[in-house]
């Protein structure tokens, strides 16, 4: 009601909004929802970790779908203060309106599994945000950062006409500019001794299926600022960020008697590294719940291991801290790894604390059998590490789920930081195999069962959806899966095995019938040999500007055998398929032996990132797979 009753009056918009609203725009693609006329941020540093952020933004809405650009949200963390916030607008008829400070609402922000955090948000929505309207925001915030670095992304999901970044630092201070996904661009000096970076006509990062995250694609600037005093900077390099995190966690891994006793109890009877590490890792995965309590620096700093052990809950950095402490008590050393679950967000060019997850690098002893583990790296020191995520309850020690593979992460070790690259698993690490046995009746009814075996990420996703579901929910989930391939089926039973045994494949058996599966066409009966599982997808017929990103590598196989009706003989079968594009391969064939038919196929994805210049190859592959998935075996009725 506050927003709906916001005052309307003429002449309320400031000069900068009036001026920018009158500019002539270039012609944009018809599907462009809005264009950012101005995006400007000014950072005035007052001391270590403290600065004032002054922000201006003006947008012209081009289509009704661009109305969401009228929403403003200002995030505030601990010790931060919003000084002013305003919104102005000029609709297409020229009428002006304004939202003042009192017209904005404040609320808390909930991130996933947070039990509590002290992040809050001031929000408002400008009225009459229809096509043709110009909306402008302005706010000023006293910020308190945890490292002396400010990061800015110049590109958005809509075009940007003009973008400014202004930096002002105290006398005697210095700065360093770091760029990602483009640049560098030189700044101009401002009249008050600051520096200003100005960019024009920045292309939109358009929505495209399966593309990397926005932050992995957009042109970014990182500004590191520091005084001339030695040892003050906690940013600007991976080593500096590692030193900062080392200091932040210095007193976090102190054991208690109870914690030590539990670690030894779990490791009892285990004489080698693998046995001890797996036992303790399993304890963190199953007995310590994921719950986040983040206050102030708590977004980065873990709680003490003793508190986590006593409460039996914590967030990612807490669980990494507790596991590291327990491993140390049984003679195994480990270090923090900071990582982002959006692949490509972190890269070598721009050292930044932009991480959203903490995991662990466990030192491998010389006698350890490295071949037992897929998620290993070697640091600059020559130490071999096993990378493990104790927050992930479904991926066993030795593996990493897909979104943590083939990406950069910060290893915090030996009092410093080192950028590492996590390994990409071979397709054999993520397998999905189906073996089906069926009978086809003379009227086309299909009956039989499929035994499905999953490992790696295929098992991870299925376990995550099944473990806490009741029987009815599990049955509904299986029916939805079958429903993507079949119509009019009846699911007779399902059997789920090894759901809780993380080291083993997840095995699911379906028994079902499907009347009308075979299509009777006069003397012919058409049977699709691909019963279950879609591996093809449709690609848009337009130029592709961004890579295709998949979560993981994969190897998927289907073997379906059919007992054919005695009234029919095989008249025609689809041609075999064998295509290899390098990044992926697909093959299938149909074999007939007497009254039995056997369909086999294999799909292998070797890469998780496919460059846009290979779009046509990917489209061709998907077309071949789609045609094969819908191909039919032709059976011909024989005279009785």
Per-residue pLDDT tens digits for 70-80: 898 999 988 89
Instruction: Give burial (CB, 10 Å; 0-12/13-18/19+) of 493.
Output: exposed
Q: Per residue in 149-160, is it b (16+ CB within 10 Å) or e — as a string?
A: bbbbbbbbebbb
Average of pLDDT values for 138-148? 93
**Range in 2-16, 229-243, 402-416 with the lowest mean pLDDT:** 2-16
Is residue 344 within 8 A of residue 404, CB to CB? The reply is: no
Tell me, what's the pLDDT at 371?
Answer: 87
Tell me, what's the pLDDT at 133?
Answer: 94
Q: 415 φ, ψ to 5°?
A: 75, 10
Structure tokens at 308: 């986590």
Sign of the torsion angle spanned by Cα atoms 225, 226, 231, 234: negative
Cα 472 to the chain's mean position, in Å? 30
Check residues 232 and 203 and name the one with the higher pLDDT. 203
Structure tokens at 454: 């999953």
Kindly report the three-state secondary structure assignment for every residue of 562-614.
EECCCCEEEEECCCCEEEECCCEEEEEEEEEECCEEEEEEEEEECCCEECHHH
Average of pLDDT values for 86-92? 91
Res. 408 pLDDT band, cuts 50 70 90: very high
Sheet holding 554-563, edge to edge: 490-497, 506-514, 446-454, 431-440, 554-563, 596-605, 584-593, 577-580
pLDDT tens profile 93-107: 889 988 888 888 888
Q: What is the mean pLDDT of the chain?
A: 93
Query: Is residue 233's pLDDT more than 70?
Result: no
Kindly report the three-state secondary structure assignment for every residue of 192-211.
CCCEEEEEEEECCCCCCCCC
Tell me, what's the pLDDT at 115?
Answer: 62
Query: Is residue 232's pLDDT more than 80?
Result: no
Res. 110 pLDDT band, cuts 50 70 90: low
Query: Is residue 602's pLDDT more than 90?
Result: yes
Is residue 182 within 8 A of residue 521, CB to CB? The reply is: no
Distances (CA, A) of 506 to 430, 444, 458, 498, 584: 12, 32, 9, 5, 24
Tell me, what's the pLDDT at 111?
Answer: 59
- CA-nearest of 622, 607, 620 to 554 is 607
Is residue 73 within 8 A of residue 110, CB to CB? The reply is: no
Stated as kind and residue range, the H or E segment containing 171 is none
Query: Is residue 201's pLDDT more than 60?
Result: yes
Interior angle at CA 318, CA 316 and CA 319, nearest 5: 65
């Amino acid at each position: 009601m506050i927003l709906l009753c916001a005052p309307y009056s003429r002449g309320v918009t400031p000069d900068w909004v009036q001026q920018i609203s009158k500019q002539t725009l270039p012609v944009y693609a018809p599907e462009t929802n809005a264009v950012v006329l101005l995006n400007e941020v000014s950072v005035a540093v007052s001391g270590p970790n403290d600065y004032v952020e002054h922000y201006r933004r003006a947008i012209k809405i081009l289509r009704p779908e661009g109305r969401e650009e009228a929403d403003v949200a200002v995030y505030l963390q601990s010790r931060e203060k919003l000084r002013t916030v305003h919104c102005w607008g000029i609709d297409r008829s020229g009428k002006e309106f304004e939202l003042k400070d009192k017209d904005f609402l404040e609320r808390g922000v909930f991130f996933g599994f947070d039990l509590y955090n002290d992040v809050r948000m001031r929000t408002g929505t400008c009225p009459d945000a229809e096509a043709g309207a110009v909306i402008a925001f302005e706010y000023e915030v006293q910020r308190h950062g945890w490292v002396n670095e400010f990061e800015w992304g110049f590109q958005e999901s809509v075009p940007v006409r003009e973008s400014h970044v202004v930096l002002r630092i105290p006398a005697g201070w210095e700065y360093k500019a770091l760029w990602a996904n483009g640049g560098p661009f030189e700044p101009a000096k401002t009249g008050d001794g600051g520096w200003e970076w100005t960019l024009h006509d920045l292309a939109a990062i358009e929505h495209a299926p399966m593309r990397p995250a926005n932050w992995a694609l957009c042109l970014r600037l990182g500004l590191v600022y520091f005084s001339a005093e030695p040892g003050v900077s906690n940013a600007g390099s991976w080593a500096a960020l590692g030193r900062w995190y080392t200091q932040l966690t210095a007193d976090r891994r102190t054991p208690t008697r109870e914690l030590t006793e539990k670690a030894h109890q779990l490791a009892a009877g285990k004489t080698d590294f693998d046995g001890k590490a797996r036992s303790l890792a399993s304890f963190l995965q199953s007995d310590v719940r994921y719950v986040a309590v983040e206050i102030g620096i708590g977004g980065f700093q873990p709680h003490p291991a003793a508190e986590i052990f006593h409460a039996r809950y914590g967030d990612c950095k807490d669980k990494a801290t507790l596991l590291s402490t327990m491993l140390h008590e049984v003679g195994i050393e480990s270090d923090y790894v900071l990582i982002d679950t959006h692949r490509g967000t972190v890269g070598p060019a721009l050292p930044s604390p932009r991480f959203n997850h903490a995991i662990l690098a466990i030192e491998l002893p010389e006698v350890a059998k490295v071949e037992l583990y897929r998620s290993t790296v070697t640091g600059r020191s020559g130490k071999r590490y096993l990378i493990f995520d104790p927050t992930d309850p479904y991926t066993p020690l030795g593996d990493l789920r897909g979104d943590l593979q083939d990406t950069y992460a910060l290893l915090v070790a030996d009092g410093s930081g080192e950028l590492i690259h996590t390994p990409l698993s071979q397709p054999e690490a993520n397998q999905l195999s189906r073996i089906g046995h069926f009978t086809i009746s003379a009227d086309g009814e299909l009956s039989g069962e499929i035994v499905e075996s999953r490992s790696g990420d295929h098992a991870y996703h299925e376990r995550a959806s099944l473990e806490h579901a009741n029987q009815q929910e599990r049955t509904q989930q299986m029916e939805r899966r079958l429903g993507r391939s079949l119509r009019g089926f009846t699911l007779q039973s399902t059997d789920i095995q090894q759901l809780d045994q993380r080291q083993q494949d997840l095995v699911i058996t379906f028994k079902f019938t499907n009347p009308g599966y075979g299509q009777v066409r006069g003397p012919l009966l058409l049977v699709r040999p691909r019963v279950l599982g879609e591996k093809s997808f449709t690609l848009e017929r337009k130029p592709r500007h961004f890579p295709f990103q998949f979560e993981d590598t994969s190897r998927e196989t289907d073997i379906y055998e059919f007992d054919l009706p005695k009234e029919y003989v095989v008249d025609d079968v689809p041609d075999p398929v064998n295509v290899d594009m390098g990044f992926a391969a697909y093959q299938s064939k149909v074999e007939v032996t007497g009254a039995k038919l056997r369909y086999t196929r294999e799909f292998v994805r070797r890469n998780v990132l496919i460059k846009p210049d290979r779009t046509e190859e990917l489209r061709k592959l998907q077309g071949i797979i789609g045609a094969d998935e819908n191909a039919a075996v032709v059976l011909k009725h024989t005279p009785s």
